[in-house]
């Protein structure tokens, strides 16, 4: 994993770059990236792989494995949007204006940014199986142009996913943790008897 991090470290501007962005803007950026993954990137790579001539074990395995990888990845995206993004946006709304204490207490009892963060870090390497199968997208000595394009697209996709995950882990989660603490304090204050 360290090798993968080294490969992509220069493509992430660092958390400080995002200091001026509110959490809702970060969530919208991440949602847009999810949309592009599902509607454009994955279908494009899938078509490339489907059109690949099934002539050896590698191409056969790639055709077999990639649909499972994408299925798991898409489930991860929908889960993230239905839980993490939903919760973060509820926290943002509560922090931005008035909120119903009982509704926020109920929502906050169902979700925890800290728990989501630890689960997310465990799930971050969706492309490991593909990377292993393709020997880290190694095209040295490869003569099949179609397969080279697939490897380059897979590597570019992984690079994009890596930056995406860093934005979630190093920007969204810390901001969401602070927001959760602020909202919890505001809810507790509003429930204090006078």
Of 73, 74, 92, which is closest to residue 27 (Cα–Cα)? 92
Instruction: Identify whether the C-beta of residue 54 lies closer than 8 Å to the C-beta of residue 63.
Output: yes
Neighbours of 29 (CB within 10 A): 16
Q: Does the pLDDT value for residue 165 go beyond 70?
A: yes
Task: Note the Cα 120 to chain centre separation in Å.
Answer: 8
| pLDDT score recorded for residue 137 | 94
Query: Kind and range of the H or E element at 173?
Result: helix 173-191
| Per-residue model confidence as pLDDT tens digits over 5-40 | 444 455 677 778 888 889 999 999 999 999 999 999
In this prediction, what percent of the chain has a pLDDT beyond 70?
Answer: 91
Structure tokens belonging to residue 177: 């943790």
| Per-residue model confidence as pLDDT tens digits over 96-121 | 987 788 889 899 999 999 999 888 77
Residue 1: pLDDT band (50, 70, 90) is very low
| Angle (deg, nearest 10), helices 86-96 and 173-191 | 50
Name every residue whose Cβ is closer than 8 Å to that of residue 14 and which is 6 or more positions away in sequence: 170
Structure tokens belonging to residue 29: 């950026």
């Amino acid at each position: 994993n360290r090798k993968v991090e080294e490969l992509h470290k220069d493509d992430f501007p660092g958390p400080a770059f995002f200091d001026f962005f509110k959490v809702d803007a970060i969530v919208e950026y991440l949602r847009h990236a999810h949309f592009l993954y599902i509607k454009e990137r994955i279908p494009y790579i899938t078509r490339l792989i489907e059109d690949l001539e099934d002539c050896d074990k590698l191409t056969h395995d790639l055709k077999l494995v990639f649909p499972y990888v994408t299925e798991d990845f898409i489930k991860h995206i929908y889960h993230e949007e239905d839980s993490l993004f939903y919760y973060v946006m509820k926290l943002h709304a509560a922090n931005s204006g008035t909120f119903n204490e009982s509704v926020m207490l109920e929502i906050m009892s169902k979700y925890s940014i800290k728990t989501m963060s630890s689960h997310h870090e465990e799930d971050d390497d969706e492309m490991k199986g593909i990377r292993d199968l393709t020997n880290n997208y190694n095209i040295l000595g490869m003569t099949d142009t179609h397969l080279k394009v697939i490897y380059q697209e897979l590597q570019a996709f992984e690079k994009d996913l890596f930056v995406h995950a860093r934005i979630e882990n190093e920007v969204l989660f810390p901001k969401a943790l602070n927001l959760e603490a602020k909202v919890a304090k505001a809810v507790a204050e509003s429930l204090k008897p006078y």
